[in-house]
Amino acid sequence: MDAGIRRTTIAAALVPRWTAAHQMALALAGVALLSLSAQLRLPLPFTPVPVTGQTFAVLFLGASLGSRLAVGSVAGYWVVGACGMPVFNGGSGGWAIVSGPTGGYMFGFAAAAFVVGWFAERGWDRGKGILIPLLLGEVLIYGFGLPWLAFFVGPRHVLQSGLLPFIPGDVVKVAAVTAALPGGWSAMERFGHR
pLDDT digits (tens, 9 = 90+) for 12-54: 766 667 788 888 888 999 999 999 999 999 999 999 999 999 9
pLDDT band at 183 (very low <50, low <70, confident <90, very high): low
Residue 154 has pLDDT above 60, yes or no: yes
Question: Cα 121 to chain center, whole Å?
Answer: 16
Which of these ranges, 21-25, 71-75, 147-151, 165-169, has the smallest mean pLDDT? 21-25
**End-to-end C-alpha distance for the chain, whole angstroms:** 17
Q: Which position has the higher pLDDT, 194 or 167?
A: 167
How many whole angstroms separate alpha carbon 46 and alpha carbon 193? Answer: 47
Q: Which domains does the chain have, with CATH numbers?
A: 53-183 (1.10.1760.20)
Most confidently modeled of 103-117, 120-134, 175-189?
103-117
Q: Is 47 within 8 Å of 153 (Cβ atoms)?
A: yes
pTM of the full structure:
0.89
Q: State the average pLDDT for the chain.
A: 88
Tell whether the model's pLDDT for residue 137 goes beyond 70: yes
- For residue 123, the model assigns a pLDDT of 82
Asked if 39 contacts 86 with a C-beta cutoff of 8 angstroms, the reply is: no
pLDDT of residue 125: 76
